[in-house]
Amino acid sequence: MVEQSKLSIDRTSVELFAGGGGLAMAVERAGFRPLLFNEFAKRACETLVENKADRYELDAGTPPIPEVGDRPPLIEGDVSKVDFDYLKDRVDVLAGGPPCQPFSLGGVAKGDGDERNGFPHMFRAIRDMSPKAVICENVRGLLRPSFMPYFRYIERELSLPFVERREGDSWTDHNEVLQELLSTGNVDPSQGYEVRHYPVNAADYGVPQIRNRVIIVAFRKNLNADWDLFEEMVAPRFSEASLYEAMNSGEYWERHPEVSAEIRERVMERVPHHVAKPLGGGETLPWRTLRDAIKGINGLPTLPPIEHLDRQERKVGGFVDHIGWPDARIYPGHTPNELDRPAKTVKAGVHGVPGGESVMLLDDGTHRYMTVRETARVMTFPDEWKLAGPRGEKMRQLGNAVPVLLGQAFAGAVAAVLDKAELVR
């Protein structure tokens, strides 16, 4: 694995649609200093203020540019009303997860015709700031055949963000203009971007959760980005096959000596004994499981068991948001999370009937709702990150977030490419 180089460069970032802060944490961990956040949802804004940002009113004029060590400003409100001109040529990476409802099955999937489509706002921010790189995360639904023509349009629009869509033009009209310009190559390198997208499963990046998403990355053309370096750094490092191997060898169970022989035997009945190696032939680490998350990964301590399902806050072992919740149900088609698999996709819970995503099956055969803290663990949020609002709002923020370890893998690779671009100049 190529390590990110360490240059004495003050790397900066801006994040739109910041939500509860998953991608914000990831980008900052990769070495970028945040200059600005924007978010609309009230509770998510409260979370950002509680942890790392200072609220700045939309009508208060241009926010201050924070110095090293300062808390960045958070503009709460409609992104369409935010002026980014003051950040021109000051931003290394613009990051964000534009609202995914226009492209998700649960959100009716209206795509370009949905006013919640956040991509036009990302493109305006790029025109205003001209960042060196862009990171977008979104649902895998963007890659469905029915949306693929529009997704290709998004990529072309990101390639040429300064070529604006004329008033009255449809997206297909604009798409034809962009296609023509890209085919001729007659584009100012300082105003064009090289764009690639990556379908990912967060479990392949050390996240104890099955979460299929698409990551879109762009570098400004005049940087001559080293895509080989980038793709080497974002290659998956974890696999299901390695989890099965670790279970068969006993290595997995050595991490969980508290699990009885009877339970191990029950789990192993469903584990294949002959496991195909991941494509590519490289060594991978085992997928992390829900049991791993509760036990603690990356130095986190073990979460205590839940003994009461009464909605009462108890600071057991110093943990917050680790509260038992009653009335969990499982039924055909809505099965719970299993401890010895990665958790199911954490969802925002704003539509439809939950499919067991927040219910877990325990070793004794009973089941219960996952606590907010357990859910935060499978999103790889640190325990000290405080989420604002009642339980439902906290779970909504987690379901809308980018898992920190997934975001960090891509933000770290962006940082390394930018460092190399500086070195070769």
Q: What angle do CA 71, 403, 200 make, to 5 degrees?
A: 135
Q: What angle do CA 363, 367, 369 make, to 5 degrees?
A: 125
- Crossing angle for the helix pair 261-268 and 240-249, to the nearest 10 degrees: 140
| Residue 57 exposure: Cα atoms within 13 Å on the Cβ side | 3
The C-alpha atoms of residue 6 and residue 12 are separated, in whole angstroms, by 15
> Residue 363's Cα: distance from chain center in Å?
30
Which amino acid, 415? Answer: A
Identify which of 188, 213, 288, 228 has the alpha carbon closest to the alpha carbon of residue 417.
228
Burial of residue 142, with CB atoms counted within 10 A of its CB: 0-12 exposed, 13-18 middle, 19 or more buried? buried
**Cβ count within 10 A of residue 424:** 8
The C-alpha atoms of residue 380 and residue 399 are separated, in whole angstroms, by 12
**Cβ count within 10 A of residue 1:** 7
Catalytic residue among 100, 136, 202, 401: 100
Identify which of 30, 35, 17 has the alpha carbon closest to the alpha carbon of residue 129.
35
**Is 246 within 8 Å of 255 (Cβ atoms)?**
no
The C-alpha atoms of residue 345 and residue 406 are separated, in whole angstroms, by 14
Identify which of 366, 422, 370 has the alpha carbon closest to the alpha carbon of residue 398.
370
Active site residue 45: no
Residue 209 carries which DSSP code?
A: B
The C-alpha atoms of residue 269 and residue 363 are separated, in whole angstroms, by 15
Identify which of 291, 298, 290 has the alpha carbon closest to the alpha carbon of residue 384.
298
Active site residues: 100
